Amino acid sequence: MAKRIRLSLDGVTAVAELNEAEAPLASRKLWDALPFDEIFRHVRRSGAAGYFLSPKLRDAAMPFEDRVSFYVRGTICLKPVHGEIAIPYGQAQARTVTGNEYATCLARFVGDHAAFLDVIRRMQREGKKQLSITREQG
């Protein structure tokens, strides 16, 4: 059974399954770094997504696994060079001030996660929120 994580944001929770088959290094790095309790912000340049940065996930030498440039709704992506986790709720892309980048598709939501993604969408108007990520039990 694949490892799962529980995400909580503004009182709304969702569960995601790690992409261990296609992204084993990134999945292990995230799993070993859990739990997280981070300030989550809406992206500035990347479109419809939220993000946080963590020194625990930063690894400039980590290769991209299941490499993406466009973020797909319902996925969780990691840019290891920055230690950035991005969660899109709509059309989004890995970008910085210097242009387009790549990321690893780290996990995919399972079950109903629409309310969770809606909280991220609202952050564009409401501002930053506290995000927690823990290991899913059971």
Q: What is the pLDDT of residues 98-128, one digit of tens each?
A: 889 999 999 999 999 999 999 999 999 999 9
**Predicted TM-score (pTM) of this structure:** 0.95
Give the domains, in start order, of the chain with CATH numbers: 4-135 (2.40.100.20)
pLDDT given for residue 130 in this prediction: 98
HEC readout, the chain: CCCEEEEEECCEEEEEEECCCCCHHHHHHHHHHCCEEEEEEECCCCEEEEEEECCCCCCCCCCCCCEECEECCCEEEEECCCCEEEEEEEEEECEECCEECCEEEEEEEECCCHHHHHHHHHHHHHCCEEEEEEECCC
